Amino acid sequence: MTNNTDRRGSLGLLARSPATLLAERMARVGELPSFTWLRKPETGMVMLRGRIGGDGARFNLGEATMTRCTLRLADGSVGVGTVRGRNARHAEMIALCDAMLQQPARAATIRMEVMNVLAQAEQERHARASADTAGSRVDFYTLVRGED
Amino acid sequence: MYVAVKGGERAIAQSHVLLADARRGDAAVPELSIAQIRGQMRLAVARVMSEGALYDEDLAALAIKQAAGDLIEAIFLLRAYRTTLPRLADSEPIDTSRMRLSRRISAAFKDLPGGQILGPTYDYTQRLLDFSLMDESAEIGTADSGPSPNPVETTVAPRVTDLLDRQGLLESEACPAGDPPPPDLTREPLLFPVDRTARLQNLARGDEGFLLALGYSTQRGYSTTHPFAGEIRFGTVPVEVFVEELGFAVEIGEVELTECQLITGFEGGSEEAPRFTRGYGLSFGHSERKAMAMALVDRALRARELGEDTEQPANNEEFMLSHSDNVEASGFVQHLKLPHYVDFQTNLELLRRLREEWEANHGNTAAPAEPPAVPATMEAA
């Protein structure tokens, strides 16, 4: 299951990262492998579900656009790309990375040139946002009344 | 009754030209970009996504641009567009306790774990027009992160209601046995009485103005609830979708949501101990007023379930849910602009006959004997 956990983590990171940054990093990987589509990129919707009170019964909140695709490399590695929004190129890049991460020859390069950089960029985005937000945390203080 | 009327094509074509001109405004002023609307009209984008019931910032921004800022028209455009897309999946339930918070406040608990985080809010502004914004070059600097004691501290915190829940003083939202999939109002008609899950879907896409007014009515006395804002939070949460090829769920990205938990006292009864009850609001983007109004109305609509009085408008499920949708409401109100010439002609004929009868019975002393003056052009229509 470790493989699935890793793959799950990688797919999440690829989907959360800005498509422009992902494209930039993929450009540094060198020649990308050719592939055949098992499912060409298609855009549709995903129904977003919440829970009543955050932890109760499920309910349908509303939909979001979503794009997905599946591709296969020459050696049979299958890559899956699923991303919120309508960016077909983003879904394709996710699927390509997903497939290449399964190839022993390419996985190390993808991890170093793409995944590590995306992870660090995300960490920096979050740290910056947290720092800005934390500045607006309220520090309550009570005024001492003059009775003592 | 409607009859086909020919002859408006040329006029309609010219109306479209005029509409495009009116939308564009002064050609000497630069055109708005989608990125500008998305980035600088984020609250309008949030409203259009929520009530358009489709989370896509670019499409919402496009709809706002196309509708020249008429948000209800933009919501209509987004609703129409969503009908062209296939439904690919249902997400795993979004866990709002994983939210990376941009804002989180409680009016009920001062010292809550994670603290009160104000974030970007108009609450503490003086509502004075800021004339410096008249000058686009006078940009204000970015948020000052200087005073933060620990810049890498996390901005994830447990929901306040979960903390209160543990003490048994707040009703728990127990997940029903088997965690059944919820009804979907985009696929099934609204048939009364409906489940709370279906009500929340209706309210989530409901008109903010309608929910605000009816929520307000409950506060003014047209219902019996007196709620506290247990927690209001806004931030970013991941969306997970089960992918069949993989056999497990993956994150496909993130969305911004606003969540509101209102807490209301409940007297209890012979079988139930007194406790706090909840009203729940959840909406796309930063949309606090909407989430709060939704939570007020959600709680008011639980009156029957909790054995409270149900005679006020906000307690009436059928009234509330049938009139909350602004696309339906706008369509029915605005259909009055469609030609009703034959309808009206029928009414006119009937009225003339009644008038003649009335005059015959009352003598023709007061009323003029002539039929009402109607211009010939209207008669011809």
Determine, yes or no, domain membership for B138: no
Judge if B239 and B292 occupy the same domain: yes
**Integer CA distances (angstroms), A20 to A25, A81, B37, in order:** 9, 16, 20
Of A12, A59, A128, which is closest to B182 when you measure between CB atoms? A59
Q: Which of residues 58-87 of B touch A (CB under 8 A)?
A: 58-59, 82, 85-87
- Looking at residues A104-129, what average pLDDT do you find? 96
Residues of chain B contacting A135 with CB distance shorter than 8 Å? 143-148
Instruction: Tell me how close the Cα of B183 comes to any Cα of chain A, in angstroms.
Output: 8
> Does residue B138 surpass a pLDDT of 80?
no
Residue-level pLDDT at B2: 57
Residue-level pLDDT at A79: 98
Judge if B300 and B272 occupy the same domain: yes
* Residue in A with minimal Cα distance to B233: A54
- Looking at residues B17-32, what average pLDDT do you find? 97
Determine, yes or no, domain membership for B125: no
ipTM surpasses 0.85? yes
pLDDT digits (tens, 9 = 90+) for B240-264: 999 999 999 999 999 999 999 999 9
Subunit contact B251:A83, Cβ cutoff 8 A: no
Judge if B190 and B288 occupy the same domain: yes
Judge if B101 and B249 occupy the same domain: yes
Of B102, B110, B175, which is closest to A133 when you measure between CB atoms? B102
Judge if B35 and B104 occupy the same domain: no
Beta bridge partners of B249: B242
Q: Which amino acid, residue B334?
A: Q
Of B116, B146, B182, which is closest to A60 when you measure between CB atoms? B182
- In the structure encoding, which two tokens stand for residue B289, read together? 């007023």
Q: Which residue has the tokens 């059944």?
A: B180
Judge if B105 and B213 occupy the same domain: yes
Domain boundary among B24, B56, B82: B82
Q: Which residue has the tokens 């009500």?
A: B199
Residue of A87, A136, A138, A139 to mutate when probing chain B, most B C-beta within 10 A: A136
> Does residue B279 surpass a pLDDT of 90?
yes
How distant is the alpha carbon of residue B365 from its chain centre?
Answer: 56
Determine, yes or no, domain membership for B308: yes
Determine, yes or no, domain membership for B110: yes
Q: Which of residues 203-242 of B touch A (CB under 8 A)?
A: 204-205, 238-239, 241
Determine, yes or no, domain membership for A49: yes
Residues of chain A contacting B297 with CB distance shorter than 8 Å? none
Number of domains making up chain B: 3
H helix or E strand, kind and range, residue B120: none
Q: Which structural domain, as residue segments, surrounds residue B46?
A: 9-82
Q: Which structural domain, as residue segments, surrounds residue A39?
A: 2-109
Subunit contact B238:A16, Cβ cutoff 8 A: yes
Residues of chain A contacting B117 with CB distance shorter than 8 Å? 133-134, 136-138
> Does residue A16 surpass a pLDDT of 60?
yes
> Does residue B12 surpass a pLDDT of 90?
yes
> Does residue A147 surpass a pLDDT of 90?
no
Cβ–Cβ contact B248 with A under 8 A: yes
Instruction: Give the whole-angstrom CA distance, residue A61 versus residue B205.
Output: 8
pLDDT band at B295 (very low <50, low <70, confident <90, very high): very high
pLDDT digits (tens, 9 = 90+) for B311-358: 999 999 999 999 999 999 999 999 999 989 899 999 999 999 999 999
Phi, psi at A109, each rounded to 5°: -65, -45
Residue-level pLDDT at B380: 44
Q: Which of A114, A98, A104, A95 is nearest to A27 (CA)?
A: A114
**Integer CA distances (angstroms), B378 to B56, B356, B374, in order:** 46, 21, 7
Residues of chain A contacting B111 with CB distance shorter than 8 Å? 140
* Residue in B with minimal Cα distance to A57: B175
> Does residue A143 surpass a pLDDT of 60?
yes
Judge if B105 and B237 occupy the same domain: yes
* Residue in B with minimal Cα distance to A131: B151
Determine, yes or no, domain membership for B317: yes
Determine, yes or no, domain membership for A127: no
Judge if B366 and B273 occupy the same domain: no
Instruction: Give the whole-angstrom CA distance, residue B242 versus residue B240.
Output: 7
User: Which DSSP category does A137 fall into?
Assistant: B
Judge if B161 and B264 occupy the same domain: yes
Q: What angle do CA B223, B229, B232 make, to 5 degrees?
A: 130
Residue-level pLDDT at B255: 98
Judge if B251 and B357 occupy the same domain: no
Instruction: Give the whole-angstrom CA distance, residue A75 versus residue A100.
Output: 10
Determine, yes or no, domain membership for A60: yes
Determine, yes or no, domain membership for B248: yes
Residue-level pLDDT at B5: 64
Check if the beta carbon of residue A82 is closer than 8 Å to that of residue A71.
Answer: no
pLDDT digits (tens, 9 = 90+) for A99-108: 999 999 999 9
Determine, yes or no, domain membership for B103: yes
Helix, strand, or coil (residue B89)? strand
pLDDT digits (tens, 9 = 90+) for A21-72: 999 999 999 899 999 999 999 999 999 999 999 999 999 999 999 999 999 9
